[in-house]
Chain A
């Protein structure tokens, strides 16, 4: 469980002010909002990597700022999409690094159950067949799944994902969100940052909508998918429709396009 109280986050200027939210065990929360709204910054603060200007973050009842990094990594992990050149490293070797928080520095070899945990993480992310391939040889979508497998191997009960579907095709994006849903059902608290409002509505229990430097709403999708609210957040007209029980939001068609229709 993650709880943020009155968080104000800043770099050279304040990005996000006075955010209070909690993510319960078994819940999937999606954070949405326009570019620059502070979604990734909020996620990093929830992971304990970004120090807030004001406010606190607690994970599993403990103040995250008071946790040693290694202890923190056993409670919460963050998966980001930044691309790095990792050099020579197989998928299995990378995912095995997820066990790092459980090893003292003087123990370099894997513990008895590490191999099974890594194999399970590879299996769950459809990477078992790719385990011995070099990471550099993978597509960006496959690499994205490697980072998710790494987080699964870490076995933290609070999982934060920044754009987990950004490099994935529709099939893999749906499978990824189903996997994150499963993780929540298995007892994890899952937070994702996504740009696709409709994916968020389809998979999240609640949606936190950021915009204009604040959290404008944090509620079930039906309560957040309000045209005025979304239009304010994105500073552009947005329409919301319900089709076959699915909530869908999108930009209102421009006048010229409406005339053609």
Chain B
């Protein structure tokens, strides 16, 4: 496994390149590889292909890559921190908090341009609230964090439903539901700016936590003996996950299961070393989401399937498989 890791990572990067090509070619109008290459080489050329690819598909691919990569890294970090492969990055309530805030924003008539900022702020605030509720005299308790995350997620999910039910206009309700379903539609290069910044900051913190997470695979007691500052590591991971998840939610709505499943795919392909897992999670998550998005907008054009729902349809069987396999192992 150790010797083949660079080869596996290289294969993942090739898969990402293929996914990008598929993402660029697919949609209500299909483009040949030659057209795509020509458009990439001549970015300022006029014509429909240039307009569609540079204004719609390329930013969408970039957002899909960012969301897929960010959620996959966040999932890897949380699973390693909690030592539980059934954890996803939304455990800290980031998605539920963002969903409630967006529901309020849509119902309150706030301009759509502000949704990303609202989602970003709400998911950050929820995660930090969960972290604050998880503090004990000796540091951050992961058990409390799970309980607080689940409790706040339930609370916000209930409140979101209430907002939808109490919204008198059905188009507004549908708008909220569309956001909750997760989608990359309607986003451009400008939406990437803040999300990319937050995701980059989250990634740097993730890299800082990796040596400690690797040591924690030997058990927290051995990690402590190796000089790991458990509390610092937990805060690093929580803040990194918070930034990565918030960045993703702000541009895509709620896209589930990718943060749960990709860490498993990566571990199966490249082993359990957290260093390789985090690095490999980026191209893998990005490739899966780019392809899923291409499928979502190609199945029944011009209608798009909600990306979050599409991934849930694929993710639920995978999740059940993992859960039953884990139960058998236990």
CA distance A100 to B210 in the complex (A): 11
Contact residue among A47, A80, A105 (Cβ-Cβ distance under 8 Å from B211) = A105
A73 at interface by CB-CB < 8 Å: yes
B161 at interface by CB-CB < 8 Å: no
Residues 54-96 of A, flagged 1 when their CB comes within 8 A of B and 0 if not, give: 0000000000000011111110011110101011111001100
CA distance A48 to B245 in the complex (A): 35
Would you give the shortest CB distance from B135 to chain A, in whole angstroms? 17
**Nearest-CB residue, chain A, relative to B80:** A87
**Nearest-CB residue, chain B, relative to A94:** B218
Establish whether residues B226 and A98, one from each chain, have CB atoms under 8 Å apart when the complex forms.
Answer: yes
Residues of A within 8 A of B130 (CB): none
With A86-B218, A87-B217 given, is the CB distance from A78 to B225 under 8 Å? yes
Establish whether residues B272 and A100, one from each chain, have CB atoms under 8 Å apart when the complex forms.
Answer: no
Contact residue among A73, A90, A94 (Cβ-Cβ distance under 8 Å from B225) = A73
Residues 98-138 of A, flagged 1 when their CB comes within 8 A of B and 0 if not, give: 10110101101000000000000000000000000000000
B32 at interface by CB-CB < 8 Å: no
B7 at interface by CB-CB < 8 Å: no
B260 at interface by CB-CB < 8 Å: no
Residues of B within 8 A of A68 (CB): 229
CA distance A43 to B217 in the complex (A): 22
A154 at interface by CB-CB < 8 Å: yes
Would you give the shortest CB distance from A100 to chain B, in whole angstroms? 5
A49 at interface by CB-CB < 8 Å: yes
**Nearest-CB residue, chain B, relative to A156:** B225
B219 at interface by CB-CB < 8 Å: yes
Residues of B within 8 A of A209 (CB): none
Q: Which of B180-233 contact A (CB under 8 A)?
A: 207-208, 210-212, 214-215, 217-219, 221-222, 224-229
A97 at interface by CB-CB < 8 Å: yes
A225 at interface by CB-CB < 8 Å: no
A183 at interface by CB-CB < 8 Å: no
Establish whether residues B225 and A84, one from each chain, have CB atoms under 8 Å apart when the complex forms.
Answer: no
Establish whether residues B221 and A80, one from each chain, have CB atoms under 8 Å apart when the complex forms.
Answer: yes
Would you give the shortest CB distance from B47 to chain A, in whole angstroms? 46
**Nearest-CB residue, chain A, relative to B330:** A85
Contact residue among A49, A79, A80, A86 (Cβ-Cβ distance under 8 Å from B217) = A86
Establish whether residues B273 and A97, one from each chain, have CB atoms under 8 Å apart when the complex forms.
Answer: no
CA distance A79 to B219 in the complex (A): 12
CA distance A88 to B218 in the complex (A): 11
CA distance A49 to B139 in the complex (A): 13
A150 at interface by CB-CB < 8 Å: yes
Residues of B within 8 A of A79 (CB): 225
Residues of B within 8 A of A93 (CB): 2, 273
B1 at interface by CB-CB < 8 Å: yes
**Nearest-CB residue, chain B, relative to A81:** B221
Establish whether residues B215 and A97, one from each chain, have CB atoms under 8 Å apart when the complex forms.
Answer: yes
Would you give the shortest CB distance from B9 to chain A, in whole angstroms? 14
CA distance A88 to B225 in the complex (A): 21
Contact residue among A49, A86, A108 (Cβ-Cβ distance under 8 Å from B275) = A108
Residues of B within 8 A of A70 (CB): 227, 229
CA distance A249 to B181 in the complex (A): 71
**Nearest-CB residue, chain B, relative to A97:** B215
With A69-B227, A74-B227, A103-B211 given, is the CB distance from A82 to B272 under 8 Å? no
Residues of B within 8 A of A89 (CB): 217, 272-273
Establish whether residues A100 and B273, one from each chain, have CB atoms under 8 Å apart when the complex forms.
Answer: no
Contact residue among A69, A72, A80 (Cβ-Cβ distance under 8 Å from B222) = A80
Establish whether residues A88 and B222, one from each chain, have CB atoms under 8 Å apart when the complex forms.
Answer: no
7 nearest CB pairs, A to B: A73-B227, A84-B219, A70-B227, A87-B272, A101-B227, A88-B272, A78-B225
Q: Could you name 17 residue pairs across A and B whose Cβ atoms are closer than 8 Å? A: A49-B225, A69-B228, A73-B226, A78-B224, A78-B225, A79-B225, A80-B221, A80-B222, A80-B225, A84-B222, A88-B267, A89-B273, A93-B273, A94-B218, A108-B211, A151-B225, A154-B225
